[in-house]
Amino acid sequence: MKSIIIVNNNMNIGGIQKSLLNLLYEIKNDYDVTLLLLNKSGEYITNIPEEIKVIEGSSYLKLLGMSFRDSKRLGLKYYFIRSVLTVYTRVFNHYLPIKLLMKTQKRLSEFDYAISFMHSSTPESLYGGANELVLDKINAREKIGFIHCDFTEYGGNTAYVRALYSKFDKVATCSEGCRDKFILTMPECENKTYSVRNSNNYADIMRLAEKNAINYDPDYVNIISVARLSKEKGIERALTAIYKCLSLGYKIRYHIVGDGSQRKELEKLVEDLKISKSVYFYGNTNNPYRYMKNSDLFLLPSYHEAAPMVIDEAKCLGIPVLSTKTTSTKEMIEDNDAGWVCENSTSGILKSLKSILDSKSNLLKIKDSLLAKNYNNKKSIKQFLCLLKGKQPYGQE
């Protein structure tokens, strides 16, 4: 049985961690899998399959898998080190701090495959280190780096990070669109870059959706977004479009699941626009699917995205998707007749939203089509196997 070691920062709630967890369930019986977490923590820890061996990096590497606030719990010494390294990172970058912390990690061996599942963070953030650990501290026949972002947009496309990816034997991106963007930046890596779609736990999504599912007023078109409330998600653009639709007399309600640094700003915008009776904030939840299940339209107004897992989650629940045009929307939405992709602007969102609301029969048609499909991870696992074996160029079918 081939051995794989997968490195990630933590198992906190997040798209990368969720994708990793789903992948572990798919491969747990076919490979001898070790999961190395820089910080063995997070809400998903208890969900890791028992077949997976879980280990932790050195006590100092924990600092790269936790927030500055959480470092206090390790003790004064660790808090002081984190403080000094954080100041250095903000003034310069995290390259030297990561290198210093990596010296505290003993070398691990011997594996058939060593996989860094999390891409490098932006240089001003003291977070990351999975790439460096795989490249410098693990002996393996093959080393693979995953990219879960639009490499041209996320802020970490630096000479240092490009040098890291050039050292991997293979690179995996979470969609064809993301692969294209990465190759645009690093054309010399084209022949070693594969597309490996995220895995989803479809059975669990549908089970949770039935658990205390929210029933909305059928007299309205109920639109939902599930997202971290931060600038790049573009929720303020969605609110502006919703406001203009309401002003035109459309009977709609907008439901927002999630939390983040922009929440107070968004709540104030809702008050200023005087649309509080039509917009609902629900905050974070362990089960967003109960809110999604009976909604009529999923709205993704982001400025940039890689391959959001929430699109596939909405599709398996039969929810048509309206998304701004980002890296993977063509293959995830248009190519699957799952909804609409609009121009990446407030006016683009408004134009498409009005068109959808003027032809509501299309919502039902797409919903019926989505519900009739069979959702599984066969394609994503086939791509993962192609990545390991290198039998097909780029993991294509």
- pLDDT, residue 71, reads 85
- pLDDT, residue 286, reads 86
CATH number of 3-199+377-395: 3.40.50.2000
Tens digit of pLDDT at every position of the chain (397 positions): 999 999 999 999 889 999 999 999 999 999 999 999 999 999 999 999 999 999 999 999 999 999 877 888 888 999 999 999 999 999 999 999 999 999 999 999 999 999 999 999 999 999 999 999 999 999 999 999 999 999 999 999 999 999 999 999 999 999 999 999 999 999 999 999 999 999 999 999 999 999 999 999 999 999 999 999 999 999 999 999 999 999 999 999 999 999 999 999 999 999 999 999 999 999 999 899 999 999 999 999 999 999 999 999 999 999 999 999 999 999 999 999 999 999 999 999 999 999 999 999 999 999 999 999 999 999 999 999 999 998 654 444 4
Polymer length of the chain: 397
- pLDDT, residue 396, reads 46
CATH 3.40.50.2000 residue spans of the chain: 3-199+377-395, 202-371
CATH number (3.40.50.970, 2.30.30.790, 3.40.50.2000, 3.30.1280.10) of 202-371 reads: 3.40.50.2000
- Name the amino acid, one letter, at 316: C
Three-state SS for 102? helix
b/e map 352-390, b = 16+ CB within 10 Å:
bbeebbeeeeebeebbeebeeeebebeebbbbbebbbee
- pLDDT, residue 67, reads 83
Distance CA 149, CA 230 (A): 16
Q: Who contacts 278 (Cβ-Cβ below 8 Å, separation ≥6)?
A: 242, 246, 252, 253, 254
DSSP one-letter code for 258: B
Q: 330: burial class by Cβ within 10 Å (0-12, 13-18, 19+)?
A: middle
Task: Tell me if the pTM is above 0.85.
Answer: yes
Three-state SS for 151? coil
Beta strands in the chain (DSSP E): 3-8, 32-37, 53-56, 108-116, 138-147, 170-173, 193-195, 221-226, 252-257, 279-283, 297-300, 321-324, 339-342
Cβ–Cβ < 8 Å for 352, 342: yes
- Name the amino acid, one letter, at 282: Y
Give the dihedral sign, CA 84/10/377/30: positive
